[in-house]
Amino acid sequence: MADGRDAAHEVLAGVLQIRDERLQVMLWQRAKEPALHRWSLPRGWLAADEDVEASIRRQLAEKVDVHKLSHVEQLSVFSSPGRVPDRRVIATAFLCLVPADVDPEVPADTRWFPVDDLPATAFDHEEIVLVARDRLRAKLSYTNIGFALAPAEFTVSELRGIYSAALGYQVAATNLQRVLSRRGVLEPTGRTVPAGRSGGRPPALFRFTSRDLQVTDPFAVFRPPT
């Protein structure tokens, strides 16, 4: 109808994780038309008794252990009339993150792909992956969202690797540590790596001070006088 009362509503998950030093996204291969054999984001229909966030968590539970998700945030609505053939489907897309130190079990039709080297995707899913990627990259700059990509504890080198992979270019370890420390999002645990076989000085272990998303407002002009 012309009043939108019959629009089907789906939820889509862009699940991102640092794997093999690259930012990768979880996709599954369709076995049916339309978009046969193309790669799709995890998805599902919104149910009557849930909001979109509850729905995306329920859909993902069929793919991975939802407890391994370290962050879930709404991205955007995709609603072009022709984005899915034959019928009208409105999609709410999410950005979901998994820490780098877990390897969730996934179904046989599901694989990880680097976000900068995607296979042929179904419908508008490539665009959605890129929106998810860009949102993550932007938030790495002005929030503590690194906590969702990193393990609970990590060395500065490991964190550098994570940030470099997510951003797509090398960042300096020394500066990364100081910037995040000054902002108060990073703190030392006081312990170091057991001094195994690295051949160098055993690195100190760090953790994020908070595992909730916090923004750091950098511009003092626009900050209220303290």
Q: Scan residues 71-130 and list those touching its own copies (CB under 8 A).
A: 74, 76-77, 79-81, 88, 90, 92
Contact pattern for its own copies over residues 44 through 63, marking x by CB under 8 A: -xxxxxxxx--x--------
Residue 88 site contact among its own copies, DNA, none (CB < 5 to 8 Å, cut-off depends on kind): its own copies
183 makes contact with DNA (CB under 7 A):
yes
Do the Cβ atoms of 14 and 41 come closer than 8 Å? yes
Q: How far is 33 from 40, CA to CA, in rounded Å?
A: 12
179 makes contact with its own copies (CB under 8 A):
yes
**Minimum separation from the CB atom of position 107 to DNA (A):** 36
Whole-angstrom CA distances from 167 to 29, 59, 66, 180, 198 are: 27, 28, 25, 16, 26
Q: Scan residues 197-216 and list those touching its own copies (CB under 8 A).
A: 215
92 makes contact with DNA (CB under 7 A):
no
How many residues contact DNA, by CB under 7 A?
Answer: 29
Quickly tell me which residue has 């780098």 as its tokens: 100
Task: Name every residue whose Cβ is closer than 8 Å to that of residue 158 and which is 6 or more positions away in sequence.
Answer: 100, 150, 151
Task: Name every residue whose Cβ is closer than 8 Å to that of residue 24 and which is 6 or more positions away in sequence.
Answer: 16, 17, 18, 112, 113, 114, 115
Q: How far is 100 from 209, CA to CA, in rounded Å?
A: 18
Q: Which is nearer to DNA, 37 or 178 (CB)?
A: 178
Which among 129, 123, 126 has a CA at the least distance from the CA of 17?
A: 129
Contact residues: DNA, CB under 7 A: 155-157, 172-175, 178-179, 182-183, 192, 195-204, 218-223, 225
Contact residues: its own copies, CB under 8 A: 1-10, 45-52, 55, 74, 76-77, 79-81, 88, 90, 92, 138, 140-142, 163, 167-172, 175-176, 179, 215, 217-219, 221-222, 224-225
